[in-house]
Amino acid sequence: MLMYIAKRLLYTLPVAFGVSVVCFMLVHIAPGDPLTSVLPPDASAQLQAEMRRLYGFDKPLPVQYFIWLAKTVQGDLGVSIATGRPVALELSKALGNTLMLAVLATLIGFLLGGLFGFVAGYFRGGWVDRLASFISIIGVSVPHYWLGMVLVIIFSVQLNWLPATGAGPGGSADWAWNWLHVRHLILPAITMSVIPMGIVARTVRALVADILSQEFIVGQRAKGLLDFGVFRHVVKNAAPTALAVMGLQLGYLLGGSILIETVFSWPGTGFLLGQAIFQRDLPLLQGTILILALFFVALNLIVDVVQTMLDPRVQRT
């Protein structure tokens, strides 16, 4: 098992390197000058040249990349052009907020999606199956940013039950574990959980239907196995794939939360990424994209290893 994990780690290194190249190049080929956010419109050519030298934009792109990569490996993601603060400092709090939101949304989506999918697969072909499948299709199809705005209108504007924006009272970005702050997490978490709920439900439904039709289940039932025993066999066989899907959905939520965090003004990496895009803040943009992409690569590695540990049918090669 240790050799398998070591091999997977070695396979991850070139992927991480490729991710860094793509993150660096995509930001630089975008149109616009990153220094327009900090330089006045009437800035002299000497001042522009000095600022380019200060941020390293006067060097060729390959040189810029390797300088940036060397600093990144040491934990230095650069300095934000817009705020003048270290990118790592800007990311630290935002990343924690996004992780908290994404993990909660993934758990909600996994629990509801697993429930709907299991019921639909167990009672396949009936009205329960059609209802659960319809709910999962709606979850995948509905634009989550639109759903977020609808939830804000209903629960914040009309009913005044839950706050609409921010991570704390008064739109604060500071977090504390108390009800005043937790209630700010409810609407964005529910909104983000809809898509993983639909995907997990459809996946689990297909898994359960396939497992129930296999010969070993038919044989166990012929021997008089009770429904609870069948349930245990189904869960045991469906769990590895369902957990793998959940892990991948967590990665997607980490990288695709920009619209949800913008709708709810949630101070996470998605909200930070949106600001960096509009401000053309290259160091912040590069650092945020790179960290989110590496998180997704790491999650893929963890899911691969965990699935292999849970399912002996997966070859450890």
- Summarised one tens digit per residue, pLDDT across range 104-130 is 998 998 889 888 888 888 888 778 888
Distance CA 36, CA 300 (A): 38
pLDDT digits (tens, 9 = 90+) for 161-188: 888 888 777 666 677 778 888 888 899 9
Q: Indicate whether 53 and 177 sit together in one domain.
A: no
pLDDT digits (tens, 9 = 90+) for 191-239: 998 888 888 888 888 888 888 777 777 777 677 666 667 777 777 778 7
Strands (E), 233-305: none
- Give the containing element (helix H, strand E) for 233: helix 227-255
What pLDDT score was predicted for residue 155?
A: 92
Residue 127 maps to a domain: yes
Total domains present in the chain: 2
What pLDDT score was predicted for residue 153?
A: 92
Counts for the chain of helices (H) and strands (E), in that order:
12, 0
Q: Indicate whether 65 and 179 sit together in one domain.
A: no
Q: Indicate whether 273 and 287 sit together in one domain.
A: no
Residue 224 maps to a domain: yes
Q: Indicate whether 126 and 59 sit together in one domain.
A: no
Q: Indicate whether 54 and 103 sit together in one domain.
A: no
Q: Indicate whether 115 and 157 sit together in one domain.
A: yes
Looking from the CA of 138 toward its CB, the CA atoms found within 13 Å total 9
Q: Indicate whether 256 and 201 sit together in one domain.
A: yes
- pTM, to two decimals: 0.80
pLDDT of residue 65 exceeding 80: yes
Q: Indicate whether 189 and 274 sit together in one domain.
A: yes
Q: Indicate whether 154 and 33 sit together in one domain.
A: no
Q: Phi, psi at residue 172, to the nearest 5°?
A: -65, 150
Q: Average pLDDT over the chain, rounded to whole?
A: 81
Residue 89 maps to a domain: no
What pLDDT score was predicted for residue 35?
A: 67
DSSP state of 312: T
Q: Phi, psi at residue 236, to the nearest 5°?
A: -60, -40
Residue 267 maps to a domain: yes
- Give the containing element (helix H, strand E) for 252: helix 227-255
Q: Indicate whether 300 and 231 sit together in one domain.
A: no
DSSP state of 223: T
pLDDT of residue 78 exceeding 60: yes
pLDDT of residue 32 exceeding 80: no
pLDDT digits (tens, 9 = 90+) for 124-163: 877 888 888 888 888 888 888 888 899 999 998 898 888 8
Q: Indicate whether 158 and 293 sit together in one domain.
A: no
Percent of the chain at pLDDT above 90? Answer: 3
Residue 88 maps to a domain: no
Q: Is 98 within 8 Å of 261 (Cβ atoms)?
A: yes
Q: Phi, psi at residue 281, to the nearest 5°?
A: -90, 90
- The CATH number for 265's domain is 1.10.3720.10
Average pLDDT over every residue of 80-98:
84
Q: Is 51 within 8 Å of 44 (Cβ atoms)?
A: no
Q: Indicate whether 218 and 255 sit together in one domain.
A: yes
> Which structural domain, as residue segments, surrounds residue 300?
1-80+282-317
Q: Is 178 within 8 Å of 97 (Cβ atoms)?
A: no
What pLDDT score was predicted for residue 33?
A: 64
